[in-house]
Amino acid sequence: MRAPEQESVMHFLTLLLTLLSGSTGILSGRVTTPAGAPVADVLVSLPDLHRSTTTDTSGRYSIAGLPAGTFTVTFQRIGYAPAVRSVVATGGDVTADVTMRESVVELTGVQVTASANATSPLNSPQPTSVVAGDELRQSQSQSLGETLSGVAGVRSWSTGVGIGKPVIRGLTSNRVLVLDDGQRLETQQWGDEHSPNIETANAERIEVIRGPASVLYGSDALGGVVNVIEKDLPDAVGVPGFVRGTMSAAYGSGNGLKDGALDLEGGSGSVGFRGSLSGRSSGDVHTPDYVLWNSGDRALGGSGTIGARGTWGSLSGTFSQRDERISMTDEDPLATPTQRMSTSHARADLALPLGAARLEVSTGYERSRRREFEDDTTSTVGLGLLSQTYLADVHYHHAPLGQFSGLLGLSGLRTTFNKFGEETLIPPSRLNTVGIYAFEQSEGRRVNLSFGARYDYRRLDVDADTALGNSARTHTWSSAIANAGLLFHLSEPAALVINVGRGFRAPSSFDLYSNGVHEGTVAFERGNPNLKTEKSINTDVAVRAQTARLAFEVGAFVNLIQDYIYTFPTGTVDSASGFQIYDVTQGNARLTGFESAFQWHPTAYLHLQGTADYVRGQNTSTDQPLPNMPPFRATWTARLEHGQRAYFSIGGETNARQTRLDPAERQFFADAFGGAGYQSRPYALMNVGAGAGFVAGSRTIMVDLSLRNAFDRRYADYLSRIKTNAVDPGMGRSLIARITTEF
């Protein structure tokens, strides 16, 4: 499209959105302490409407353009416990005054992923973690899995620094669903070395559900959900138009990391926009002893959103593009295999108030193109994969029924898959899915309840492929599931949480029809076209407590999975490739474990926090351990704080040895190490951090320094897939410097 045509289209969209907008009621109020003193700079948000503002020096706030309906309002400020209120608007003005108490414990105000409406993570029966604010900025890494690896119960299944898939309670890939602002992200997650192609540099927060969430999200949410959420789209209703932005840059010494991000947003009347750019480049990883050959990464991404809101509701459209080139460390020290990914994502979101109810419609399109090359000097594609996904979700949030609020949902998905290149891994296919579900929740003085149910139907049409030897075939699966959760306030400030839920995962084309050499796993893999749907029932029990200086959660879980899909060695070798042949099969599995996390402020300037987690996976059909289960891990951090911006921290993590290997792992390690087998080793890493905020005119510049693996310890993460290609491939001492500013 030529530039004049693009300008005409953008002008038309802006005009259309402006004409659709209109005046509405105003939400206003005052935020004070228990003594009546005003609290300034409180972030006041309407998560259900994606609206926010801040209080002035007198503690007052106002948000114009409030439609009729029932909404959650959150109030957050550093140094105060977050407050959550529910307001009912009938089309006129609404007043909501709030009292906030001081609290040095850093808590997140709301989550929107594990429930029908926004609610506090402390009040959710579903185990939920939120990474946001300073914590998210300081934990930014080159992959989604590594960014979240500090969360209790979450690890990273990695292939070098550029590929890191979230592992939740021992489950990953197609058993953990990744959402981009509430919309599912496909990007061919079935491959071990296929990382979710999503950028976190401009995210406001990342929410993690630990445990099944298939009632709300369908197949693949068997182990949990990761939701990467952007900031609310701004507007200028009742205020002059504006443009503002955020910019960050970082450098890491461990692999020559260069990282930058720019976020620009603004509003004019009821119309708002946002544009973002991000780029990242890194060289080969430096371990304590050597340079890990061919381990660099390059990524470039951008997105743009425009939207408007009024009495009629809100409408927005978003387009994003992200390209990444990852160098893959190989067992051959001279090899230079690479992987190149390109993901385009377009979406449109519409919200319509219907009295005290509201209707939300979200549609999306994703194009994911993946190319694998045998070396970085060739333009010949070894393995090419192209998938196109069309999505639609409709949510009807009904008017409150007493203490209960909830939704009825309908979702649809269509994915077409094609292959290209010299190699063949799976046949072309078309997947169609439809799901209908309901979810209810209530928050009482002593008891919070949640429950839901879902029915899903999936149809997979597979084309005949002579190279793979399969005939054309149609597969159909259906699943009916339910869940229920309870949170009981034992006494102030402790609560008992019990959650029982079912999850499911339909087999992927890779599970069913793979039949050939997969360089990523160094194996000859044969699928099984007769696989059934995986189904699980998970039980969580936890105790949570929160005071002004202490917050903690301790919980345990049991996840029973029927027809768990896995590979096992046949004991034979493919003569052409020399690789061991692995067959896909099914059995029953049991995963048990615990998670704990705490924050404690013994004084106003000293912050202590820690986590511990463990999962034990067992194949109950063979009485053997499940593969790739993370070993026990404990983390700790001591942090000295001065004011709201300056800090110094020291912390670390301890990882136990993994002694429970399944037969496939033992065979794989024996092949990789020439029959010597593999023995993981325990290790401990130390990290040091410091940061401060500097005021320059009207802007604040934040500087963060992080020294990771401060003692330059040799180690191999058990969940690193390249641990068999190199000795102790973990990155050595690395100093990361990051500068962030708003303008």
CB atoms < 10 A from the CB of 438, how many? 18
Q: How far is CA 506 from CA 46, 113, 379, 534, 586, in A?
A: 36, 22, 35, 6, 12
Radius of gyration of the chain (CA): 25
Decide which of 165 and 680 is more confident. Answer: 165
pLDDT per position as a tens digit, 685-741 = 999 999 999 888 878 899 999 999 999 999 989 998 888 777 778 999 999 999 999
Parallel/antiparallel/unpaired status of strands 523-526 and 580-600: parallel
Instruction: Give residue 116's pLDDT.
Output: 80
Choice among 165-174, 521-530, 533-542, 605-614 with the minimum mean pLDDT: 521-530
Q: Per the CATH hierarchy, to which homologous superfamily does domain 1-102 belong?
A: Carboxypeptidase-like, regulatory domain (2.60.40.1120)
Query: Where does the pLDDT of residue 483 fall: very low under 50, low under 70, confident under 90, or very high at 90 and above?
Result: very high
- pTM given for the model: 0.89
- What is the edge-to-edge ordering of all strands in the sheet holding 183-184? 128-132, 203-210, 224-230, 176-180, 183-184
Q: 713: buried, middle or exposed (CB in 10 Å: 19+, 13-18, 0-12)? A: middle
Check: CB of residue 373 under 8 Å from CB of residue 382. Answer: yes
Instruction: Give residue 109's pLDDT.
Output: 63
> Which sequence spans correspond to the domains of the chain?
1-102, 225-742
The pLDDT of 183-205, averaged and rounded, is 85
Choice among 342-346, 519-523, 615-619 with the minimum mean pLDDT: 519-523
Check: CB of residue 584 under 8 Å from CB of residue 563. Answer: no
Query: Where does the pLDDT of residue 634 fall: very low under 50, low under 70, confident under 90, or very high at 90 and above?
Result: very high
Instruction: Give residue 4's pLDDT.
Output: 47
Residue 544's SS3 state is strand
The pLDDT of residue 2 is above 60 = no
Instruction: Give residue 319's pLDDT.
Output: 97
Choice among 26-40, 174-188, 664-678, 712-726 with the minimum mean pLDDT: 664-678
Tokens of 446: 């002593």
Across the chain, mean pLDDT equals 88
Going by C-alpha positions, the residue among 309, 116, 222 that lies closest to residue 536 is 222
Q: How far is CA 175 from CA 128, 191, 214, 507, in A?
A: 17, 12, 10, 10
Q: How far is CA 673 from CA 186, 331, 400, 404, 678, in A?
A: 34, 11, 62, 58, 7
Choice among 31-45, 514-528, 650-664 with the minimum mean pLDDT: 514-528
Instruction: Give residue 202's pLDDT.
Output: 85
The pLDDT of residue 22 is above 60 = no
The pLDDT of 472-478, averaged and rounded, is 96
CB atoms < 10 A from the CB of 173, how many? 21
Query: Where does the pLDDT of residue 320 fall: very low under 50, low under 70, confident under 90, or very high at 90 and above?
Result: very high
Check: CB of residue 250 under 8 Å from CB of residue 260. Answer: yes
Q: Please give the Cα distance from 73 to 47 (Å, whole number).
A: 7
CB atoms < 10 A from the CB of 544, how many? 23
Task: Give, as one character, the DSSP assignment of residue 603.
Answer: S
Q: Please give the Cα distance from 682 to 329 (Å, whole number).
A: 23
Reply yes or no on domain 225-742 having CATH 2.40.170.20: yes
Q: Please give the Cα distance from 496 to 486 (Å, whole number).
A: 8
Instruction: Give residue 118's pLDDT.
Output: 78
Parallel/antiparallel/unpaired status of strands 606-619 and 624-625: antiparallel
Q: Please give the Cα distance from 23 to 101 (Å, whole number).
A: 34
The pLDDT of 628-650, averaged and rounded, is 92
Q: Please give the Cα distance from 214 to 60 (Å, whole number).
A: 41
Instruction: Give residue 15's pLDDT.
Output: 44
